[in-house]
Amino acid sequence: MVSHGLRVIDFHAHFPTASWVKWAASWKQRLIEKYGEESAQVIIEQSARDREEMRKDWGFAPPETEVRSDEQQAARWVADLDSKGVERVNFVTGGGNDNLAKIVSLYPGRFSGFAHHSLFSKNARSDLERGVKQLGLRGYKVIASSQTSSVDDKTLYPVWELTEKLGVPVIMHFGVLGGGGGPALNLRNMNPLTLWEVAKMFPKIPFVIPHFGAGYLRELLLLCWSCPNVYIDTSGSNRWMRWMPFEIDLEGLFRKVLETVGPDRLVFGSDSSYFPRGFSVQYLREQLKACRSIGLEEENIEKIFYGNAAKLLKFAE
Protein backbone atom coordinates (compact mmCIF):
# COMPACT_ATOMS: atom_id res chain seq x y z
CA MET A 1 0.00 0.00 0.00
CA VAL A 2 1.17 3.50 -0.83
CA SER A 3 1.75 5.77 2.17
CA HIS A 4 1.02 9.48 1.93
CA GLY A 5 2.04 10.26 5.48
CA LEU A 6 -1.57 10.68 6.60
CA ARG A 7 -5.03 9.15 6.39
CA VAL A 8 -7.05 10.10 3.32
CA ILE A 9 -10.77 10.38 2.60
CA ASP A 10 -11.86 11.14 -0.96
CA PHE A 11 -14.93 13.33 -0.43
CA HIS A 12 -15.95 13.49 -4.09
CA ALA A 13 -15.98 10.55 -6.51
CA HIS A 14 -18.47 8.98 -8.93
CA PHE A 15 -19.25 5.28 -8.93
CA PRO A 16 -18.91 3.79 -12.45
CA THR A 17 -22.28 2.08 -12.41
CA ALA A 18 -23.38 -0.30 -15.13
CA SER A 19 -26.27 2.06 -15.93
CA TRP A 20 -24.02 4.90 -17.09
CA VAL A 21 -24.92 4.27 -20.73
CA LYS A 22 -28.56 5.07 -20.00
CA TRP A 23 -27.53 8.20 -18.11
CA ALA A 24 -25.39 9.38 -21.03
CA ALA A 25 -28.27 8.87 -23.44
CA SER A 26 -30.60 10.82 -21.15
CA TRP A 27 -28.13 13.69 -20.87
CA LYS A 28 -27.69 13.82 -24.65
CA GLN A 29 -31.46 14.04 -25.04
CA ARG A 30 -31.60 17.01 -22.65
CA LEU A 31 -28.99 18.80 -24.75
CA ILE A 32 -30.92 18.09 -27.93
CA GLU A 33 -34.10 19.46 -26.40
CA LYS A 34 -32.37 22.72 -25.47
CA TYR A 35 -29.93 23.29 -28.35
CA GLY A 36 -31.18 21.10 -31.18
CA GLU A 37 -29.56 17.92 -32.45
CA GLU A 38 -26.80 19.51 -34.55
CA SER A 39 -25.64 21.97 -31.88
CA ALA A 40 -25.87 19.32 -29.17
CA GLN A 41 -23.54 17.10 -31.17
CA VAL A 42 -21.01 19.94 -31.46
CA ILE A 43 -21.14 20.46 -27.68
CA ILE A 44 -20.63 16.75 -27.01
CA GLU A 45 -17.68 16.56 -29.42
CA GLN A 46 -16.02 19.68 -27.98
CA SER A 47 -16.34 18.34 -24.47
CA ALA A 48 -14.96 14.94 -25.51
CA ARG A 49 -11.91 16.58 -27.10
CA ASP A 50 -11.19 18.54 -23.94
CA ARG A 51 -11.44 15.42 -21.78
CA GLU A 52 -9.08 13.59 -24.14
CA GLU A 53 -6.56 16.44 -23.85
CA MET A 54 -6.85 16.29 -20.07
CA ARG A 55 -6.17 12.55 -20.05
CA LYS A 56 -3.07 13.06 -22.20
CA ASP A 57 -1.83 15.80 -19.87
CA TRP A 58 -2.05 13.46 -16.88
CA GLY A 59 -1.14 10.22 -18.62
CA PHE A 60 -4.54 8.62 -18.00
CA ALA A 61 -5.72 5.72 -20.12
CA PRO A 62 -9.12 6.25 -21.78
CA PRO A 63 -12.20 4.82 -20.06
CA GLU A 64 -12.71 1.12 -20.62
CA THR A 65 -15.62 0.12 -22.82
CA GLU A 66 -16.43 -3.18 -21.13
CA VAL A 67 -19.54 -2.97 -18.96
CA ARG A 68 -19.16 -4.70 -15.59
CA SER A 69 -21.59 -5.31 -12.77
CA ASP A 70 -21.77 -2.91 -9.84
CA GLU A 71 -20.54 -5.69 -7.56
CA GLN A 72 -17.46 -6.15 -9.73
CA GLN A 73 -16.78 -2.43 -9.83
CA ALA A 74 -17.19 -2.11 -6.06
CA ALA A 75 -14.61 -4.85 -5.49
CA ARG A 76 -12.24 -3.14 -7.93
CA TRP A 77 -12.68 0.15 -6.08
CA VAL A 78 -11.77 -1.41 -2.73
CA ALA A 79 -8.67 -3.04 -4.20
CA ASP A 80 -7.72 0.25 -5.82
CA LEU A 81 -8.15 2.20 -2.58
CA ASP A 82 -5.99 -0.35 -0.79
CA SER A 83 -3.20 -0.12 -3.36
CA LYS A 84 -3.24 3.69 -3.37
CA GLY A 85 -3.40 4.34 0.35
CA VAL A 86 -6.93 5.77 0.63
CA GLU A 87 -9.11 4.94 3.62
CA ARG A 88 -12.57 5.87 2.37
CA VAL A 89 -14.34 7.21 -0.70
CA ASN A 90 -17.59 9.15 -0.83
CA PHE A 91 -19.54 8.62 -4.05
CA VAL A 92 -21.69 11.59 -4.99
CA THR A 93 -23.39 9.73 -7.85
CA GLY A 94 -24.03 6.08 -8.55
CA GLY A 95 -27.04 5.28 -10.70
CA GLY A 96 -29.72 6.70 -8.40
CA ASN A 97 -30.23 6.74 -4.65
CA ASP A 98 -31.37 3.15 -4.24
CA ASN A 99 -28.61 1.80 -6.44
CA LEU A 100 -25.87 3.75 -4.70
CA ALA A 101 -27.17 2.73 -1.28
CA LYS A 102 -26.83 -0.93 -2.34
CA ILE A 103 -23.28 -0.30 -3.51
CA VAL A 104 -22.35 1.43 -0.24
CA SER A 105 -23.82 -1.48 1.73
CA LEU A 106 -21.32 -3.84 0.10
CA TYR A 107 -18.39 -2.08 1.82
CA PRO A 108 -19.78 0.28 4.46
CA GLY A 109 -16.37 0.65 6.08
CA ARG A 110 -14.87 2.00 2.86
CA PHE A 111 -17.78 3.63 1.00
CA SER A 112 -20.35 6.31 1.68
CA GLY A 113 -22.73 8.02 -0.73
CA PHE A 114 -24.92 11.03 -1.42
CA ALA A 115 -28.46 11.31 -2.69
CA HIS A 116 -28.36 12.68 -6.23
CA HIS A 117 -31.92 12.95 -7.53
CA SER A 118 -33.31 15.95 -9.39
CA LEU A 119 -33.57 19.09 -7.27
CA PHE A 120 -36.69 20.33 -9.06
CA SER A 121 -38.63 17.06 -9.11
CA LYS A 122 -41.92 17.06 -7.24
CA ASN A 123 -40.54 14.37 -4.92
CA ALA A 124 -37.19 16.04 -4.25
CA ARG A 125 -37.94 16.60 -0.57
CA SER A 126 -39.33 13.15 0.15
CA ASP A 127 -36.58 11.48 -1.90
CA LEU A 128 -33.96 13.27 0.17
CA GLU A 129 -35.62 12.30 3.44
CA ARG A 130 -35.85 8.67 2.35
CA GLY A 131 -32.31 8.73 1.03
CA VAL A 132 -30.87 9.87 4.34
CA LYS A 133 -33.19 8.24 6.87
CA GLN A 134 -33.88 4.90 5.17
CA LEU A 135 -31.03 4.38 2.73
CA GLY A 136 -28.26 5.77 4.92
CA LEU A 137 -26.95 8.31 2.42
CA ARG A 138 -24.92 11.08 4.04
CA GLY A 139 -25.62 14.15 1.92
CA TYR A 140 -27.06 15.55 -1.30
CA LYS A 141 -25.31 16.17 -4.63
CA VAL A 142 -26.73 18.83 -6.96
CA ILE A 143 -25.30 19.84 -10.33
CA ALA A 144 -26.45 23.44 -10.46
CA SER A 145 -25.32 23.92 -14.06
CA SER A 146 -27.62 21.16 -15.27
CA GLN A 147 -30.74 22.62 -13.66
CA THR A 148 -33.10 24.49 -15.96
CA SER A 149 -34.25 26.86 -13.20
CA SER A 150 -32.21 28.90 -10.77
CA VAL A 151 -31.06 27.06 -7.64
CA ASP A 152 -32.01 30.02 -5.45
CA ASP A 153 -35.68 29.66 -6.42
CA LYS A 154 -37.80 30.03 -3.29
CA THR A 155 -39.91 27.02 -4.30
CA LEU A 156 -36.90 24.94 -3.24
CA TYR A 157 -36.91 26.24 0.34
CA PRO A 158 -38.81 23.16 1.64
CA VAL A 159 -35.94 21.01 0.35
CA TRP A 160 -33.38 23.20 2.12
CA GLU A 161 -35.45 23.26 5.31
CA LEU A 162 -35.38 19.47 5.36
CA THR A 163 -31.67 19.39 4.54
CA GLU A 164 -30.96 21.65 7.49
CA LYS A 165 -33.13 19.48 9.72
CA LEU A 166 -31.35 16.31 8.58
CA GLY A 167 -27.98 17.92 9.25
CA VAL A 168 -26.33 16.73 6.05
CA PRO A 169 -23.98 18.53 3.65
CA VAL A 170 -24.78 19.52 0.07
CA ILE A 171 -22.27 19.37 -2.77
CA MET A 172 -23.29 21.81 -5.49
CA HIS A 173 -21.40 21.96 -8.78
CA PHE A 174 -21.16 25.28 -10.61
CA GLY A 175 -19.29 26.17 -13.81
CA VAL A 176 -19.37 24.29 -17.11
CA LEU A 177 -20.09 20.59 -17.37
CA GLY A 178 -17.80 17.93 -18.77
CA GLY A 179 -14.76 20.12 -19.37
CA GLY A 180 -14.15 22.72 -22.04
CA GLY A 181 -16.98 23.10 -24.50
CA GLY A 182 -19.35 21.72 -21.89
CA PRO A 183 -22.81 23.26 -21.55
CA ALA A 184 -24.85 24.83 -18.81
CA LEU A 185 -28.61 24.62 -19.06
CA ASN A 186 -29.06 27.81 -17.03
CA LEU A 187 -26.36 30.48 -17.29
CA ARG A 188 -27.17 31.93 -13.87
CA ASN A 189 -26.45 28.54 -12.29
CA MET A 190 -22.84 28.60 -13.49
CA ASN A 191 -22.01 31.23 -10.86
CA PRO A 192 -21.56 30.17 -7.20
CA LEU A 193 -22.96 33.55 -6.09
CA THR A 194 -26.36 32.20 -7.11
CA LEU A 195 -26.23 30.30 -3.81
CA TRP A 196 -25.80 33.49 -1.73
CA GLU A 197 -29.38 33.90 -0.48
CA VAL A 198 -29.85 30.18 0.12
CA ALA A 199 -26.64 29.91 2.14
CA LYS A 200 -27.67 32.98 4.16
CA MET A 201 -31.21 31.71 4.70
CA PHE A 202 -30.02 28.24 5.79
CA PRO A 203 -26.76 28.89 7.66
CA LYS A 204 -26.64 25.44 9.29
CA ILE A 205 -26.33 23.63 5.95
CA PRO A 206 -22.71 22.95 4.93
CA PHE A 207 -22.67 23.79 1.22
CA VAL A 208 -19.59 22.34 -0.48
CA ILE A 209 -18.57 23.84 -3.83
CA PRO A 210 -16.34 21.46 -5.83
CA HIS A 211 -13.41 22.12 -8.15
CA PHE A 212 -12.60 25.44 -6.43
CA GLY A 213 -15.64 26.84 -8.26
CA ALA A 214 -14.63 25.43 -11.66
CA GLY A 215 -13.47 28.77 -13.04
CA TYR A 216 -15.41 31.01 -10.68
CA LEU A 217 -12.71 31.42 -8.05
CA ARG A 218 -13.34 35.10 -7.35
CA GLU A 219 -17.07 34.55 -6.99
CA LEU A 220 -16.55 31.54 -4.77
CA LEU A 221 -14.21 33.41 -2.45
CA LEU A 222 -16.73 36.23 -2.14
CA LEU A 223 -19.41 33.68 -1.30
CA CYS A 224 -17.18 32.07 1.33
CA TRP A 225 -16.33 35.51 2.75
CA SER A 226 -20.01 36.23 3.32
CA CYS A 227 -21.22 32.74 4.22
CA PRO A 228 -19.18 30.73 6.75
CA ASN A 229 -21.24 27.62 5.97
CA VAL A 230 -19.75 27.39 2.46
CA TYR A 231 -16.89 24.94 1.98
CA ILE A 232 -14.63 24.24 -1.00
CA ASP A 233 -13.66 20.84 -2.36
CA THR A 234 -10.45 20.45 -4.33
CA SER A 235 -11.61 17.73 -6.72
CA GLY A 236 -10.53 17.09 -10.27
CA SER A 237 -7.69 18.16 -12.52
CA ASN A 238 -8.54 21.85 -11.95
CA ARG A 239 -7.85 22.34 -15.63
CA TRP A 240 -9.92 25.53 -15.46
CA MET A 241 -6.85 27.33 -14.03
CA ARG A 242 -5.30 27.70 -17.50
CA TRP A 243 -8.36 29.65 -18.64
CA MET A 244 -8.15 32.33 -15.97
CA PRO A 245 -7.25 35.89 -17.07
CA PHE A 246 -4.49 35.86 -14.46
CA GLU A 247 -1.62 33.49 -13.74
CA ILE A 248 -2.36 30.82 -11.15
CA ASP A 249 -1.02 27.38 -10.38
CA LEU A 250 -1.93 24.76 -7.79
CA GLU A 251 0.38 26.18 -5.14
CA GLY A 252 -0.95 29.69 -5.67
CA LEU A 253 -4.50 28.38 -5.61
CA PHE A 254 -4.06 26.62 -2.27
CA ARG A 255 -2.21 29.63 -0.83
CA LYS A 256 -5.00 32.05 -1.76
CA VAL A 257 -7.80 29.80 -0.49
CA LEU A 258 -5.97 29.01 2.75
CA GLU A 259 -5.23 32.67 3.53
CA THR A 260 -8.88 33.58 2.98
CA VAL A 261 -11.20 30.63 3.65
CA GLY A 262 -8.73 28.74 5.84
CA PRO A 263 -8.00 25.02 6.32
CA ASP A 264 -11.21 24.19 8.21
CA ARG A 265 -13.42 24.65 5.13
CA LEU A 266 -11.28 22.95 2.52
CA VAL A 267 -11.96 19.28 1.65
CA PHE A 268 -9.98 16.96 -0.61
CA GLY A 269 -11.77 15.28 -3.48
CA SER A 270 -10.59 13.54 -6.63
CA ASP A 271 -13.66 13.48 -8.93
CA SER A 272 -12.56 9.95 -9.85
CA SER A 273 -14.97 7.80 -11.80
CA TYR A 274 -13.92 5.32 -14.47
CA PHE A 275 -11.53 2.41 -14.75
CA PRO A 276 -8.75 1.64 -15.55
CA ARG A 277 -7.79 4.93 -13.91
CA GLY A 278 -9.73 4.23 -10.72
CA PHE A 279 -8.81 6.58 -7.89
CA SER A 280 -6.84 9.49 -9.38
CA VAL A 281 -3.84 9.21 -7.10
CA GLN A 282 -1.99 11.76 -9.25
CA TYR A 283 -4.36 14.48 -8.07
CA LEU A 284 -3.76 13.52 -4.46
CA ARG A 285 0.01 13.60 -4.87
CA GLU A 286 0.00 16.96 -6.62
CA GLN A 287 -2.28 18.55 -4.05
CA LEU A 288 -0.28 17.19 -1.13
CA LYS A 289 2.89 18.46 -2.79
CA ALA A 290 1.34 21.91 -3.23
CA CYS A 291 0.26 22.09 0.42
CA ARG A 292 3.67 21.02 1.69
CA SER A 293 5.50 23.30 -0.76
CA ILE A 294 3.79 26.38 0.65
CA GLY A 295 4.70 25.31 4.19
CA LEU A 296 1.26 24.33 5.43
CA GLU A 297 1.39 22.70 8.85
CA GLU A 298 0.77 18.93 8.91
CA GLU A 299 -2.13 19.48 11.33
CA ASN A 300 -3.94 21.55 8.70
CA ILE A 301 -3.00 19.16 5.90
CA GLU A 302 -4.67 16.41 7.93
CA LYS A 303 -7.83 18.51 8.13
CA ILE A 304 -8.01 19.00 4.38
CA PHE A 305 -7.31 15.40 3.39
CA TYR A 306 -9.13 13.61 6.20
CA GLY A 307 -10.53 15.48 9.18
CA ASN A 308 -12.91 17.91 7.51
CA ALA A 309 -14.49 15.17 5.40
CA ALA A 310 -14.82 12.91 8.45
CA LYS A 311 -16.74 15.67 10.25
CA LEU A 312 -19.00 16.49 7.32
CA LEU A 313 -19.78 12.82 6.73
CA LYS A 314 -20.09 12.12 10.46
CA PHE A 315 -17.65 9.24 10.61
CA ALA A 316 -16.83 8.12 14.11
CA GLU A 317 -13.16 8.34 14.96
Kindly tell me the sign of the dihedral angle through the C-alpha atoms of 50, 53, 59, 65.
Answer: positive
Euclidean distance between the first and the last CA atom of the chain, given in angstroms as a whole number: 22
Contact present, 265 and 232 (Cβ < 8 Å): yes
pLDDT tens digit at each of 317 positions of the chain: 577 899 999 999 999 998 776 767 777 787 788 788 898 888 888 888 888 888 998 999 999 989 899 999 999 999 999 999 999 999 999 999 999 999 999 999 999 999 999 999 999 999 999 999 999 999 999 999 888 899 999 999 999 999 999 999 999 999 877 666 566 667 789 999 999 999 999 999 999 999 999 999 999 999 999 999 999 999 999 999 999 999 999 999 999 999 999 999 999 999 999 999 999 999 999 999 999 999 999 999 999 999 999 999 999 75
Q: What predicted TM-score, i.e. pTM, was given to this entire model?
A: 0.95
* pLDDT value of residue 21: 65
Pick the CATH number of 9-313 from 3.20.20.140, 2.40.50.140, 3.40.50.720, 1.25.40.10: 3.20.20.140
Do residues 6 and 284 make contact, with C-beta atoms less than 8 angstroms apart?
no
Q: What is the model's pLDDT at position 286? A: 98
Give the pLDDT confidence score for residue 232 in this predicted structure. Answer: 98
pLDDT, residue 180, reads 62
- In our burial notation (b when 16+ CB lie closer than 10 A, e otherwise), range 74-113 reads beebbebbeebbbbbbbbbbbbbbebbbbbbeebeebbbb
**Whole-number pLDDT of residue 175:** 87
Length of the chain: 317
Residue type present at position 83: S
* pLDDT value of residue 182: 64
For 219, the enclosing helix (H) or strand (E) is: helix 217-226
- DSSP per position, 6-55: S--EEEEEE---TTHHHHHHHHHHHHHHHH-HHHHHHHHHHHHHHHHHHH
* pLDDT given at position 33: 81
Element (H, E) at 128: helix 124-133
The whole-number pLDDT of residue 176 equals: 77
